[in-house]
């Protein structure tokens, strides 16, 4: 395994935690902006319909993936600028 890959592991783990937190905050804000009074439904929420549960899940997944990709790419770019080696 390349040294840059090993050195990036702790950075990648920290960025994963940060991206998860950012994605959670972003999703809650988007859910409110889209006109929902309540928190997003859970899959087992008996009082919410299939449509609302699935839309919430799709939206949450898309936001999480986009935030994670942006944070990971930014971290890799920063490591590249600092070390001259791409950490992938």
Residue 66, in any domain of the structure: yes
Helix (H, G, I), strand (E, B) or coil at 86: coil
85 sits in the region (left: phi over 0; alpha: psi -120 to 50; else beta) called: beta
60: containing domain: 48-88
Residue 59, in any domain of the structure: yes
The pLDDT tens digits of the residues spanning 7-36 come to: 778 888 888 899 999 999 999 999 999 887
Residue 81, in any domain of the structure: yes
Residue 75, in any domain of the structure: yes
Residue 74, in any domain of the structure: yes
Domain count, the chain: 1
pTM (whole model) above 0.85: no
DSSP assignment string, 21-53:
HHHHHHHHHHHHHTT-SSPPPPTT-TTS-HHHH
The pLDDT tens digits of the residues spanning 50-63 come to: 999 999 999 999 99
């Amino acid at each position: 395994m390349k040294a840059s890959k090993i050195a990036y592991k702790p950075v990648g783990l920290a960025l994963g935690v940060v991206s998860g937190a950012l994605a959670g905050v972003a999703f809650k804000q988007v859910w409110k902006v889209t006109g929902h009074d309540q928190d997003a439904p859970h899959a087992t929420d008996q009082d919410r319909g299939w449509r609302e549960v699935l839309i919430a899940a799709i939206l949450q997944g898309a936001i999480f993936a986009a935030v994670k990709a942006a944070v990971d790419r930014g971290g890799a770019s920063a490591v590249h600028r600092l070390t001259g080696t791409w950490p992938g």
